[in-house]
Amino acid sequence: MKRITLFAAAALATSLAWAEYPDKPITIVVPFAAGGPTDKVARDLGVVLGKELKQTVIIENVGGAGGTLGANKVAKAAPDGYTMLLHHIGMATSPALYRNLPFKVLDDFEYLGMVNDVPMTLIGRPSLPASNYAELMKWIEANKGKINLANAGLGAASHLCGLLFQQSLKVDMTTVPYKGTGPAMTDLLGGQVDIMCDQTTNTSSQIEGGKVKAFAVTTTKRLTTPALAKLPTLDESGLKGFNVSIWHGMYAPKGTPKAVVDKVNAALRNSLKDADFIKKQEALGAVVVTDARLAPADHKKFVEAEIAKWGPAIKAAGQYAD
């Protein structure tokens, strides 16, 4: 009886210790450069999440190595709930892309819940001599061996989409990796690279402003946002079955107390109901998650399934990093 009482007392003490969480600013690590699509999602989310948790949320950009540097920083951080990660599909593809990944995706994190699903768009430099998908295909056929395809680095969403695009067309392009989508977009706008496949969170404003050529979306259904509604899908344009959407989720270091995980998950759920946040996501073509993947356990099951989905495709392409 005494042992049970001591155990109960210890549990109560632990619970009380985290009752005041958070009592200092929280950092959300974005594993890509500032100005990119994941950064935009994190900054919008940070505003509403901070209100829910009644604490300042700081966004820290730790770019490089396709998102693995930032993810590793969080994996190795103190499991106290004050350092979290917002990452995209790279969490599921890094095990296949990196031979010496310094963390284990399924073992080194506490899963906090999914945030959104993000369609992608195929875009080109403003001076590209093609105005629609059919003209783009003719241009690609006439310029084989000369095409530069930009991406935000190995493992980035733009890299994965570009990889599948090349495989679907059976055309090899010269891939030009950057340390984030921001700098990649800058060079695309400047005409230093030809085409890029990237998330609507990063391309919508450029498309709406007429600053880039837009050719197609990567989902099987057309999008409904004003800037993207007229774009055909790659599936209807001839690449049958082409379907790529990028998702974002939140993570904490393994060992973060359940009381903290539960509190952050509750705050995340409420944040995703915020009308202003939903409006901002919809304007970018993103869809806020409302399904079972909001639960930490289902979030983890989803990532596990994505690892199984993307691993074979990446290994077939033979693209690895140390």
CA angle 123, 127, 128 (to 5 degrees): 55
* Contact criterion met (CB below 8 Å) for 136 and 143: no
Q: Report the alpha-carbon distance of residue 220 to residue 232 in Å, rounded.
A: 9
Q: What is the pLDDT of residue 282?
A: 87
Q: What is the pLDDT of residue 157?
A: 81
Question: Which tokens go with 165?
Answer: 């695009």
Q: What is the pLDDT of residue 318?
A: 73
Q: What is the pLDDT of residue 321?
A: 63
Q: What is the pLDDT of residue 59?
A: 98
Average pLDDT per block of 10 residues along the chain, 322 residues long = 54 61 98 88 97 98 91 98 96 92 97 95 97 97 96 83 92 91 94 95 91 95 88 95 92 98 98 96 88 98 93 77 62
The CA R_g of the chain, rounded to the nearest whole Å, is 21
Q: Report the alpha-carbon distance of residue 121 to residue 219 in Å, rounded.
A: 9
Q: What is the pLDDT of residue 180?
A: 81
Q: Report the alpha-carbon distance of residue 196 to residue 188 in Å, rounded.
A: 8
Q: What is the pLDDT of residue 64?
A: 85
